[in-house]
Structure formats: structure tokens, C-alpha cells
Amino acid sequence: MSKLTKSLHWSTVIGEKILLAIIGFLTIVAAGLDILEMYDARKIELADLFLLFIYAEIIGMVGAFYASSRIPVTLPIIIAMTALCRLIVLHSKEMDPMMLFAEAGAIAILAAAAYVMSLKDKISLEKSELRERVSKQ
């Protein structure tokens, strides 16, 4: 690698870690503020629980990055599915039925994508195990 490439790579890695730490911290702050709001209102609704679940998934995604230095593709897909479910719960009464159907379809497409991505990971693991067995022979 050239000196410029090495320095750019270093700054990118550090920048990514700093931004993810900020995202994790601000997610915890946002969750705390929402919990405080629920406490003050003395009311917890299903949409609030979905929002807390989204916060937990974002924190999990940040944690997964720090544990493995990569973000599994399925985590953002699951976060998107949860966010769409929250929208449906929040707006289903006044929402146009076609919009409701479209959001449900988007959830189904995201679920299929997450399933396909999990198959990809499984196939990759099987390939690496096969390579290891072949190399041992």
C-alpha cells in the first residue's frame, strides 16, 4: 500500500469507530429520553415498545461491529422491518388501505431478503468447512 492509501485507510477506520460510538451513545440517550417520556405520561403504547426495540437493535448493531469489525447485513434489514411495523401501528387507523398494503409488502420483501442473506451466510460457512476438510486431507 502507498503511504497515502495507508493514511486514508487509518483515518477511515478511526472515523468509522468514532461515528459508531457516537451513534451508540446517542441511541442510549434517545432511549432514555423516550423512557422518561413514557414515565411522565404514565402510559406505554405498542408503538413505544417498537421504538425501544429499534433502539436495542441499533445498539446491538453497534456492538456487533465492535465485536467483529463488520456489521451483518441482516441487522439493518431487521431494523427496517421493525420501523415499518411501528409505522403501521402508529398510522394504521388513518392510513390509506393501499399504503398499508404497500408497507406490509415492503416488510415481506425485507423478510425474504433477510432470509436469503442468512442462507448466503450458511452456504459460506459450509464452503469454508469443506475447504478446511479438503486442506486437512
| Predicted confidence (pLDDT) per residue in 8-22, tens digit | 788 888 998 999 999
Residue 6 has pLDDT above 80, yes or no: no
Phi/psi of residue 106, nearest 5 degrees: -65, -40
> What is the number of structural domains in the chain?
1
Residue 95 has pLDDT above 90, yes or no: no
Q: Give pLDDT tens digits for 14-56.
A: 998 999 999 999 999 999 999 999 999 999 998 899 999 999 9
Task: Note the pTM of the prediction, 2 decimals.
Answer: 0.74
What's the whole-number mean pLDDT along residues 110-130? 80
What is the Cα–Cα distance from 56 to 35, expressed in whole angstroms? 13
The C-alpha cell 446491538 sits at 60
pLDDT band at 121 (very low <50, low <70, confident <90, very high): low
Residue 108 has pLDDT above 80, yes or no: yes
Question: 24 with 59: CB under 8 angstroms?
Answer: yes
**Domain, as residue range, for 45:** 3-136
Q: Positive or negative, the Cα torsion across 51, 52, 57, 58?
A: positive
Write down the number of H helices and E strands in the chain.
4, 0
Q: How confident is the prediction for the chain on average, in pLDDT?
A: 88
